[in-house]
Amino acid sequence: MAGVLLSAAVACVLLAGTVTASSSSSPRVFTVGGEERGWRQPAPGEETYNHWATKNRFHVGDFLRDLTASRLFQPPVFDPPSTAASFPAASPMASRLRLGQPSPNPGPGPSPSPSPGEGKIEEGEGRKPEPRREVTDLGGGSEVVHIPRFMARERAWELFEHLDKRIPWTRPTIRVFGRSVVQPRDTCYVADKGLTDLRYSGHQPHAHSWDDFPVLKDILKEVHEALPGSHFNSLLLNRYKGCSDYVSWHADDEPLYGPTPEIASVTFGCEREFLLRKKPANTQSQAAGESGETARKRLKVSAPQQHSFLLKHGSLLVMKGYTQRDWQHAVPKRARAASTRINLTFRHVLP
Ligand SMILES: O=C(O)CCC(=O)C(=O)O
């Protein structure tokens, strides 16, 4: 490719030179520091670009047209920031998206790295390129995969509208530190028949059947296709109706998910910040059956490590490995998150 471009550049220079030289009876020559510079008349019989191009049936215009039409040179893709500011005020998108910050960088620790094949263009007609994946190695066998544009925007809005209206949302009362509180978000639970019941914060959600929600089955299929080897059989849905709705620091480390659950989270609507922080050493040591001191030595943690992801409309975030054992996650209140966000977290309950 570099060779081709270099040849093209050389060819253009030669072309320009030949034109200048042949359009003037006296070639324009000037000297710099005693050295002769500028265009000179080709010597009789000397091969110029024109000779070469004619002999090789090469035309620079055709070459550039082919180059721009080819997959080798793709014009940059317009990537509108998914914020209210990027849409006209009257656009329905503008009222749906409120968080206007750029994606915050992860805190200390490894930054997201492209996965193998990132940005790869698949060969073959009609095949869509893979959406970009950012893989964050949290260390200690924990990993997060983020696919910001997992789903096309328009389709994701259709799904948002459907889920917002059709899901039987409830806002249950849960127990937190011995007190009964109304859960600060709407929720719904869907699961295969016969699985162990989910129970969190003293609340056991009713398990709806997938058959009642064909749309959720479609989304599940897309998630399975994006994550080969995954086999999700349950889904916890959350709806954050505005800036005051949130989920506080927790880990989905219930035994029914096993020691290394993969949890896939799809976002629709208002983008929200998703935080991950390392669990305090004693919490991890309990999970791993270690003494506190052993765990502190193993982890060598002084200040909690934290990562932040901006979960945009149509994005997919996957927590893998020991993320639930060693890390906690939260979606905090955000004053600027004024509109509704729907989140689907797909999980696998052990048989
Ligand atoms: O809304 C989110 O992105 C996270 C939801 C969550 O933490 C959970 O369902 O356990």
Q: Check residues 92 and 48 and name the one with the higher pLDDT.
A: 48
Asked which of 53, 69, 85 is the last residue of a domain, the reply is 69
Task: With a cut of 80, say whether residue 297 has pLDDT above it.
Answer: no
Residues 25 and 161 in one domain: no
Phi and psi at 296, nearest 5°, equal -60, -40
- pLDDT number for residue 45: 64
Number of domains in the chain: 2
Residue-level pLDDT at 127: 74
Q: Is residue 77 part of a domain?
A: no
Which ligand 1 atom sits closest to the C-alpha of 274? 3
pLDDT of residue 33: 62
Give 74's contacts (C-beta < 8 A, 6+ positions apart): 121
Range of the domain at 50: 2-69
pLDDT at residue 313 in the model: 98
Cα of first residue to Cα of last residue in the chain, in angstroms, is: 53
Q: Give how far the C-alpha of residue 119 lies from the chain's centroid of Cα atoms, to the nearest Å.
A: 12
Are residue 268 and residue 159 in the same domain, yes or no?
Answer: yes
Is 61 found in the same domain as 112? no
User: Both 216 and 103 in a single domain?
Assistant: yes
Predicted confidence (pLDDT) per residue in 190-210, tens digit: 999 999 999 999 999 999 999
In terms of pLDDT, which residue wins out, 32 or 108? 32
Residues 230 and 109 in one domain: yes
DSSP 230-274: ----EEEEEEE-STT--EEEE----GGG-SS--EEEEEEES-EEE
| Binding site membership of 99 for ligand 1 (Cβ less than 6 Å) | no
3-state secondary structure of 95: helix
Residue 12: what pLDDT?
42
> In Å, how far from its chain's centre is CA 279?
25
User: For the chain, where are the alpha helices, taking DSSP H only?
Assistant: 2-23, 49-55, 60-69, 92-96, 153-166, 214-226, 281-288, 292-299, 323-326
Closest CA to 268 of 93, 78, 80, 105: 93
Residue 152 clears pLDDT 70, i.e. is over it: yes
Whether the model clears a pTM of 0.85, i.e. scores above it, the answer is no
pLDDT band at 280 (very low <50, low <70, confident <90, very high): confident
Residue 203 is classified by DSSP as B
Residue 195 and residue 52 share a domain: no
Give domain status of residue 86, yes or no: no
The region of weakest confidence among 100-109, 134-143, 217-226 is 100-109
pLDDT in tens, 70-106: 444 444 433 333 333 333 333 333 333 333 233 333 3
Averaged pLDDT of the chain: 76
User: What spacing in Å lies between the alpha carbon of 226 and ligand 1's midpoint?
Assistant: 20
Domain presence at residue 74 = no
Stretch 289-303: mean pLDDT: 55
How confident is the model over 129-133, as a mean pLDDT? Answer: 92
Regarding whether 105 and 28 lie in a shared domain, the answer is no
**Facing residues of 343 across strands?**
238, 267
280 Cβ contact list (under 8 Å, min separation 6)? 304
- Residues 44 and 178 placed together within one structural domain of the fold: no
Residue 343: its pLDDT value, please?
A: 98
For residues 201 and 173, the answer to whether their CB atoms sit within 8 Å is: no
- Long-range Cβ contact pairs of 119-123 (< 8 A, separation 24 or more): 121/71, 121/74
Cα separation, 243 vs 283, in Å, equals: 30
Ligand 1: which of 249, 318, 329 to mutate, most ligand atoms within 8 Å of CB? 329
Q: Is there an atom of ligand 1 within 6 Å of 236 CB?
A: yes
Task: Kindly report the protein residue whose alpha carbon is nearest to atom 1 of ligand 1.
Answer: 343
What is the average pLDDT across 34-49? 61
pLDDT digits (tens, 9 = 90+) for 10-30: 444 444 444 333 344 445 555
pLDDT band at 180 (very low <50, low <70, confident <90, very high): very high
CATH of the domain at 302: 2.60.120.590
> Per mean pLDDT, which range of 103-107, 216-220, 225-229 is the poorest?
103-107
Between 337 and 27, name the one with better pLDDT: 337
CA distances from 313 to 63, 102, 120, 196, 220 (A): 40, 14, 23, 31, 17
Q: Ligand 1 pocket, 329 CB below 6 A? A: yes
Half-sphere exposure of 323 (CA within 13 A, CB side): 23
Segment among 119-123, 195-199, 272-276 with least mean pLDDT = 119-123
| Residue 234 confidence (pLDDT) | 98
Instruction: Assess whether the C-beta atom of 188 lies below 6 angstroms from ligand 1.
Output: no
| Separation CA 135–CA 146 (nearest Å) | 6
Per the CB < 8 A criterion, the answer to whether 146 and 133 are in contact is: yes
The Cα 112–Cα 114 span in angstroms is: 7
Considering the domain architecture, whether residues 110 and 229 belong to the same structural domain is answered as yes
Q: Are residues 216 and 308 in the same domain?
A: yes
| 266 Cβ closer than 6 Å to some ligand 1 atom | no
Tokens of 38: 């500028």
Structure tokens at 95: 């009222």
Say whether both 281 and 185 belong to one domain: yes
DSSP label at 210?
Answer: G
Q: Is the domain of 45 the same as that of 105?
A: no
Which phi and psi angles does 61 have, rounded to 5°?
A: -65, -45
Predicted local confidence at residue 169, as pLDDT: 98
Give the Cα separation of 106 and 137 in Å (integer): 11
Give the per-residue pLDDT at 23: 40
Q: Per-residue pLDDT tens for 227-262?
A: 999 999 999 999 999 999 999 999 999 999 999 999
